[in-house]
Structure 1
């Protein structure tokens, strides 16, 4: 009698490119609440101490990329996984660098929470009949002012939209004025709640927003604040219908499908 091996576990590495263990723990709690396939194994990684504890601007993005890329490639640990999620809500160059190194011809599926959130939002937007009501929109609430331009440009680039044209499905980006580290003990929770609620309310005022993306991995678990703002702005019926996108969760779902697609459609 012979037996044939048909399937194995999918191993996903969630990479926190900053050096905050508290932020990694917050993402772990969000992942633990997800309904994933029983054959999916999730592992987390926190960047070495040389990486910024909070990624707040373009310099922090580049620095974190250099530190983490060097650490991951020198250690060889990526060979143990089927997929990698870069858990920094930015146009993070680590996504492209890892994809170039391992993704195009290798088995490793790679995405970032930013990219996964865009795809999740676009898939969830309803399409009303033409010429009846304004198009449904999605948008991002984020931390500091720097990210408003950075993320808007990133969305346009990812979707291939000319920045001089109007993207009638993307409402825009609204910032709280906080840093990522503020969400893990750096600021009074009451202040966090108020600033996040204000940013969400401004975003919801930019059109019929159907999806709100939490534009920082450190916001994991704060969906209730955004939901309250949506109910206050739109009323209970419409407010409860708004999708609130956690990029880490979006990335998990996307990577599971990417791994399956690589296995099903790659030339053997």
Structure 2
């Protein structure tokens, strides 16, 4: 774990990379530094590469170098749990920097709840908050596209806007995984899986076919081509206008230009330039800073 600034002051937030790739953690620092939160201290945690974690049933969990599936996200949560939980008392906010329905968010939320329950009698205790970059990007996208319009000002009727949001992500395995995660987040779970509801605000998921590690190992021209093409497929395969696109991987930070190019190709320059591109890391940091300051 390392710190971006020296000496603790104001709000403190821990950025958690639940995989063992330190270069991914390093790539987050300039993105967060550019936000210029001078009154917030950011520390960084990377999953230990050479420390296996024993589970009660006798299994041993090693660190995950690259989280390439839903199963990997579960393994990385189990691996990080004993290292991260002791840090909860030290910070005000926690951002899990993996674009998935990552169980570490729930693990941290439960631990925060336990700590806050013990501190209810203290009026000076500061509330703590946690989110993942997946949750933060979805929430931000909904804020960006959602509004009510007048349908008929003579009859005083209104209607929700028709814009949708979508996700451009890495490997093909994430298409079904993230689609289910969005539905589970936004629609009340059905008792019968076959009756699972749908959200009409979600345009879907398109993938580049590259893993998070390959995003940084593949020639930039090839990465850009795949990002542009994935964006084009996303926009072409939905009947409603897409008003926001989430970068579906922490490793995609800084790749907004390629997504923008895909938007312009499909929608033309005027509307293509207006599509909001949401970096989950930036969204998550902003959300945590706001909630920490507000004390919700």
Specify whether residues 132 and 103 from structure 1 end up closer, same or farther in structure 2 by C-alpha distance, changes over 3 A only: closer
In the alignment, structure 1 residue 178 sits paired with structure 2 residue 179: no
Q: 1:240 aligns to what SS in structure 2?
A: helix
2:277 aligns with 244
1:227 aligns with 260
1:213 aligns with 246
- Give the Cα–Cα distance (whole angstroms) in 1 for the partners of residues 30 and 113 of structure 2: 28
User: How many matched pairs?
Assistant: 252
Q: 1:69–1:94: 8 Å Cα contact kept in structure 2?
A: yes
Q: 1:98–1:110: 8 Å Cα contact kept in structure 2?
A: yes
2:222 corresponds to which of 191, 209, 215: 191
Q: 2:274 aligns to what SS in structure 1?
A: coil
State the 1:134 CA deviation: 7.3
- Give the Cα–Cα distance (whole angstroms) in 2 for the partners of residues 191 and 69 of structure 1: 36
- The higher radius of gyration belongs to 2
TM-score by length of 2: 0.80
- Give the Cα–Cα distance (whole angstroms) in 2 for the partners of residues 100 and 233 of structure 1: 43
In structure 1, the gaps of 5 or more residues are 1-7
Q: 2:110 aligns to what SS in structure 1?
A: helix
- Give the Cα–Cα distance (whole angstroms) in 2 for the partners of residues 47 and 166 of structure 1: 35
TM-score by length of 1: 0.88
1:30 aligns with 31
2:167 corresponds to which of 116, 140, 144: 140
- Give the Cα–Cα distance (whole angstroms) in 2 for the partners of residues 182 and 129 of structure 1: 47
Deviations 1:149-179 (A, max 9, x none): 1111111111125674442211011111110
* 43-52 or 122-131: bigger deviation: 122-131
Q: 1:152–1:172: 8 Å Cα contact kept in structure 2?
A: yes
State the 1:103 CA deviation: 4.0
State the 1:35 CA deviation: 3.8
- Give the Cα–Cα distance (whole angstroms) in 1 for the partners of residues 234 and 17 of structure 2: 27
Q: 2:183–2:198: 8 Å Cα contact kept in structure 1?
A: no
1:15 aligns with 16
State the 1:136 CA deviation: 0.3
State the 1:80 CA deviation: 1.7
- Superposed, 1:1-268 pairs within 5 Å as 9-36=10-37, 38-49=38-49, 50-73=62-85, 76-103=86-113, 106=116, 107-127=127-147, 128-130=149-151, 135-161=162-188, 164-185=196-217, 187-205=218-236, 206=238, 207-262=240-295
- Give the Cα–Cα distance (whole angstroms) in 2 for the partners of residues 35 and 204 of structure 1: 33
- Give the Cα–Cα distance (whole angstroms) in 2 for the partners of residues 214 and 79 of structure 1: 31
In structure 2, the gaps of 5 or more residues are 1-8, 50-61, 117-126, 152-157, 190-194
Q: 1:235 aligns to what SS in structure 2?
A: helix
Specify whether residues 242 and 91 from structure 1 end up closer, same or farther in structure 2 by C-alpha distance, changes over 3 A only: same
Aligned CA RMSD, in angstroms, stands at 2.0
Q: 1:22–1:184: 8 Å Cα contact kept in structure 2?
A: no
Deviations 1:249-268 (A, max 9, x none): 00011111221333xx5xxx
